[in-house]
Chains A and B, each alone.
Chain A
């Protein structure tokens, strides 16, 4: 007994010490919060009644989990961005057997009210829809629409009277196989928009292996590694409403990849637009424009093919943008769960380094499968922020990883001096709501000078996210009208000088995931109310300087005539 007591006398102080250690080690995690929501989903009651259907019928066909994208573009030239939402189809038939499978075009009636004009416009689509690209390929002043499919794609030519004609066959851009994201760009600088189409894998419905946990009888979506990657497509615009497939002669089809995302921009500042493509579990492509109608794939050499350790990730949504304002376009890439987002900082127009971890993008995105997204100056402070949407690919992921959910939140990062802070919405906020999001399209839907977001969610209602904070700061929109250059001015470089700061922007023909963004250029101005000097370098080679552009306006700038119109933005 004495021995026991002696031991207890030793134990008690040790226990006390243990408890003290427990107390002294408790730490509080830093949290970010805010009072006002950054974005509010205003779809309910807006007239956007679309509901996405992926046609799942129990066999876990792979396209079900990648669909679908969306677009924001002004199809009727009334100055307001309309919304196009891509839909799936029945499986295994791949047919839009009822209106519930139609793609939908919603006319923007103003004040976040929308009318369904799908049937009148004739853009309900055919087959299993994946993504959309929108631009004026025939330079007639009306934005056209290209819809990618699992199966033949469709080019809808905008007649300018509120209707579209299916110009696919005439244009020769059917594609085939499994197309995903597409980009309009004028790679040969001949004044009309060419078309790049990403393709995913060689896949035949009903012929995939059975994947999942066979012991537990779980059938799941197969990993893409099981399927052969496809060569991608490049169509050169002949200028007469037709395109020529130049995939081979341009060098684009020399490499194969499981393409999911594409963005275009002049990363080496040589005046010729280049192409960046994200691939799923194989290396990303950076096609350097060799100025002679051909491209050289330089992703490996430039350091954007893989992670810094040389590991292929599951690249999805992507965007070019000069986040650090050093005059070189950087590349943002969304990746899979446990990979985190990448931000390839452009060092010198030749080499990139992934600074995703360094700038704070990698860690918060690490738990999620992030699809659509890109650079957006959501708060109009003049710095490119990042907005991304996520949702797992496996609808039964909880069976394998109980702590991971199929539906996931949105990610909003604020750029503060080149570092990104995750902006946490309140738990009831619309960014926090868990969704299975895929395509995300960015644009100023209400012309109030800030960027709103449209998100297409798999097997769910889309989200129309109204920006609630951007209009607190000044900004302006630029609508560029090419004359010698392509009408939408895709590829035009803009140097925006406000006081001593100079920023590089570019009119882009593609970004995000299977989506088409506002073709207008948005310029956040922070506390400034004037752009002192705007220098435009049009794809034609022409340069133009416009001085003293006030904030709070949509400025229309013509390649020939310069500033032709300034229209006040709402709320300014």
Chain B
């Protein structure tokens, strides 16, 4: 395996034979970065979980954040040539010029095939371009070259998780935790555990993550989903409340809060949150069914009917939407119309509530895998 040319870096990447003091220095440095990420996690959280704008600084009231400067390793010196190539590519990548980033990195790797950040970023770029097979090779290569770099393992885990390879994701995330605690790794493992029907363990993992990064709104959100899926409604409400404290205009949290309040029979509160969600995303197809139920529960049959009709309009093949419309029609005395809706409903397949992991994929899948921790 060839080594990057030029001056000798602080620690050896290519062959992994760093001296103990070198390794120690690097560990401390990365530890500092990680801790900074954990304590003020907005930037990395957004990066890992996808750029759902409602979690950005604007929605969260512009709270202060310590942004880790990823352009340089905090200690040691990197060869100028690969570093420059990497930075150019990273700028392309961030600006959405993924193909340019890909080309630059492929060129760079011809000269510096053992330079892990380039492999990592190329993996991310290829993943964004949908070239999964090649992307995986590079993500794995980066992790092989720098095995105790937790962020690489996390990105690998995310890659696997998006592609429903939970077993591989779990291994990568476990490796990242061996290198150091990370709220992201805990949260993702929590999602995996939930999928494996180990709900209480999932809760425990999320709590560990939140202990490290208590202001991570997204982790609160997913923990809320975990509680919700375990029918722990009061705990779910607490979590969504934490999200809304940090991101008062978060659509997802308002929606789920509305749903949980409905389960708890607190219809007025449910209605308040669902109306907030409606203001934020009036075209969201998932919103109107619970909104209709909330109106129904509060006795506002007219609004319930309008919401149920909107739900069917937005989701014409949704079994539950037709069912709820049928229920509302029955309540307003339109028995024949209700019967028709029930009939339609019974003829449609059941669409189960998305799991927390599916919701994560839905949000995280919209954006590239993170690269914020790359030097």
Contact = CB atoms under 8 A, between A and B. Distances in A.
Partners in one complex: yes
B35 A14 contact: yes
A308 B289 CA distance: 10
A403 B264 contact: no
Most chain A C-beta atoms within 10 Å of own C-beta, residue among B197, B319, B335: B197
Contact of A362 (B28, B263, B323): B263
B231 A301 contact: no
| Central interface residue in B230, B322, B323, B345, by most chain A CB within 10 Å | B323
A366 B211 contact: no
A301 B340 CA distance: 11
A21 B326 contact: no
B297 interface: yes
Interface string A353-396: 10101110011001100000000000000000000000000000
A340 B75 contact: no
B338 interface: yes
Given A11-B31, A18-B39, A18-B212, A357 B231 contact: yes
Interface stretch (B131-139, B199-207, B364-372): B199-207
Contacts of A366: 230-231
A14 B265 contact: no
B233 A21 contact: no
Contacts of B320: 309-311
A315 B212 CA distance: 42
A7 interface: yes
B214 A310 contact: no
Contacts of A309: 289, 293, 320, 323-324, 353
B345 A310 contact: yes
B39 A7 contact: no
B331 A25 contact: no
A238 B263 CA distance: 46
A359 B266 CA distance: 11
A300 B265 contact: no
Interface residues of A, number: 39
A340 B229 CA distance: 11
Nearest to B231: A366
Interface string B291-308: 001000100000000000
Interface of B is mostly: helix
Contacts of B297: 353
A309 B263 CA distance: 10
Interface string A300-344: 110100101111100000000000000000000000001010000
A338 B195 CA distance: 13
Interface in B169-216: 196-201, 207, 210-212, 214
Nearest to A403: B198
B314 interface: no
Nearest to A404: B197
A363 B232 contact: yes
B330 A7 contact: no
A17 interface: yes
B115 interface: no
B265 A357 contact: yes
B166 to A, nearest CB: 15
Interface centre among B199, B265, B319, B335, by most chain A C-beta atoms within 10 angstroms, is B265
Nearest to B36: A14
A357 B231 CA distance: 8
Nearest to A300: B342
A85 to B, nearest CB: 33
Interface in B10-48: 25, 28-29, 31-32, 35-36, 38-39
A14 B38 CA distance: 9
Given A21-B214, A310-B319, A311-B320, A351 B331 contact: yes
B350 interface: yes
Given A340-B231, A357-B264, A8 B28 contact: yes
A330 to B, nearest CB: 14
A25 B198 contact: no
Interface of A: 3-4, 7-8, 10-11, 14-15, 17-18, 21-22, 25, 300-301, 303, 306, 308-312, 338, 340, 351, 353, 355, 357-359, 362-363, 366-367, 400-404
Listed from nearest, the 5 A-B pairs whose CB atoms lie closest are A358-B265, A310-B323, A366-B231, A357-B263, A310-B320
Interface of B: 25, 28-29, 31-32, 35-36, 38-39, 74-75, 196-201, 207, 210-212, 214, 230-233, 262-266, 289, 293, 297, 319-320, 322-324, 326-327, 330-331, 335, 338-339, 342, 345, 350, 352-353
29 contacts: A4-B75, A7-B75, A8-B28, A10-B36, A11-B28, A14-B39, A17-B39, A21-B214, A25-B210, A25-B214, A300-B330, A301-B330, A303-B330, A306-B323, A308-B262, A309-B323, A310-B319, A310-B323, A310-B345, A312-B350, A338-B231, A351-B331, A357-B263, A357-B265, A358-B264, A358-B265, A363-B233, A401-B198, A404-B197
Given A22-B212, A404-B197, 18 more contacts: A3-B74, A4-B28, A4-B75, A11-B32, A11-B35, A14-B35, A18-B38, A21-B212, A300-B326, A301-B342, A309-B289, A309-B293, A309-B353, A310-B319, A357-B231, A357-B263, A363-B231, A366-B231
